[in-house]
Amino acid sequence: MIIAAITFRLHAPWVHSLKKKRMIVKSLVGQLQNRFHVSAAETDEQDTHQIIVISAAAVVPHSAMADSVMEEISRFVEENTEAEILEETREIR
């Protein structure tokens, strides 16, 4: 078994309240969980309005599938959020 983890650091300059940020985070996390069957959550910068850090992790049978899942998640996040992706970190264990 292999654990695949991916973390995104996003910048959303139009967000000026934590309430608006929570709406964006909740939507994106829910979409990742439903579409890819991964564990996903906001993992950092919870009190910063314009920075969103979301991580997703999955247990997969082999490293090729880990790469595939992370690539699909990356493409999905890029296509489904207006926020700028500042950083993307991938890890396979």
pLDDT tens figures, 43-69: 988 888 899 999 999 999 988 899 999
Q: Which domains does the chain have, with CATH numbers?
A: 2-92 (3.30.70.1120)
- The reported pTM is 0.88
| pLDDT tops 90 at residue 4 | yes
The per-residue pLDDT for 71 is 94
Q: What is the mean pLDDT of the chain?
A: 92
Higher pLDDT, 71 or 47: 71
Can you give the C-alpha Rg of the chain in angstroms?
A: 13
**Amino acid sitting at position 34:** N
| pLDDT tops 90 at residue 1 | no
Mean pLDDT of 71-88: 92
CA dihedral (85, 9, 55, 12) positive or negative:
negative
Q: How confident is the model at residue 7 (pLDDT cuts 50, 70, 90)?
A: very high
